[in-house]
Amino acid sequence: PGEGVFRRYSGPGGIAEELRRQIAEHPRTTKLVTIGKTVQGQDILAVKVSARASRTPDGRKPTTVYVGAQHAREWITPEMVRRLLDRVLDSYGRDPAITRLVDENELWFVPVANPDGYDFTFEEGNRLWRKNLRDNNGDGRITPGDGVDLNRNFPTKWGYDNEGSSPNPASETYRGPSPASEPETKALDALVKRITPEFLVNYHSAAELLLYGSGWQVSTSTPDDIVYAALAGDDREPAVPGYDPDLSAELYTTNGDTTTHVHEAHGTLGFTPEMATCASAAASVEGDAWEPQACGSVFEFPDDERLISAEFERNVPFALSVAQSAADPDDPVSAVGHRA
Ligand code: 0X9
Ligand code: ZN
């Protein structure tokens, strides 16, 4: 890192510094909120975007929350969230639809939900770290058996079937010692509880899927499924081109996951877009600038502005359609013309 596009959360040139600058540049439409601290004591930053953001009570207007980097190694996801924030701020006062969106709604951005883990992946040898930086064995350093999977640590159905999460600290899906044991979990949960958003979009990678609904069971259908499907589209016409829309539990079941929790505890409808793999992004460019065979893991999205920007752009219509639907979720504004 250094030459490339991806950057750390903390330190000079990092995402946190950029958020603070953007807030200073857009004082009327933004507000910076520290939603909590990480297990190692860093601030977890959120940006509220709405007309007169600092002067209106939080969560009063129809609200959507965008989350990135809950899993440390999924670098394309904080890029998605910070670029969406940029796009919305740059378009305010220029693009009538986005101006109206910001005037009438609240958009909340949490570009890095797991700042400790995310920054850790920029250090030599740690590129594929997934969890937070809980020192599970308390030996004073971070070693492979450490960390809690923040997408298994939420209180709803925590540890439910012992399959969609693990009690073993060394597991990549370790759910932590107790429900919401992690400060990062508490921070996001407290935000959602306080502002009760209509929607939450939890960006992950890497699989090109658009997941929604229950994560712990393949449930019988509910009225919410109509809203989910209208926004996510179908296999023939997915709301993010090339992403298969599906019920979360159809991929595999999880428990203590974010979107199940925000739905059951706070009534928030959640989506988990699984953004592109390295190979899929690499294959999308002509020529041999990026060879899919040269990809390491699926999470190592090519550090190339063209590819990152293309992946961002293909996700924008869905992201905006969700926020546009918050005022009346039962009449969703579909990105591709699907009707509820
Ligand atoms: O397992 C996860 O937390 C997510 N996939 S990832 O590869 N980014 O780790 C998927 C969570 C979606 N929910 C369910 N499948 N239940
Ligand atoms: Zn993930």
DSSP per-residue letters across 129-174: --S----TT-SSS--TT----GGG-SSTTTTTTSSSSBS-TTSTTB
Q: Which atom of ligand 1 is nearest to the CA of 152?
A: 3
Q: What is the mean pLDDT of each run of 10 residues along the chain (340 residues)?
A: 83 97 97 98 98 98 99 98 98 98 98 98 98 98 97 98 96 98 99 98 98 90 92 96 96 96 97 97 84 92 96 98 97 87
The Cα 63–Cα 203 span in angstroms is 17
pLDDT of amino acid 2:
47
The SS3 assignment for 256 reads coil
Q: Which atom of ligand 1 is nearest to the CA of 151?
A: 3
311, 304 in Cβ contact below 8 A?
A: no
Q: Of all protein residues, whose CA lies closest to atom 15 belonging to ligand 1?
A: 248
What φ, ψ does residue 209 adopt, rounded to 5°? -130, 155
The Cα 105–Cα 323 span in angstroms is 8
pLDDT of amino acid 181:
98
pLDDT of amino acid 290:
84
**What is the distance in A from the centroid of ligand 2 to the CA of 234?**
22
pLDDT of amino acid 169:
98
**What is the distance in A from the centroid of ligand 2 to the CA of 150?**
9
Tell me 51's DSSP state: T
pLDDT of amino acid 37:
98
**What is the distance in A from the centroid of ligand 1 to the CA of 172?**
12
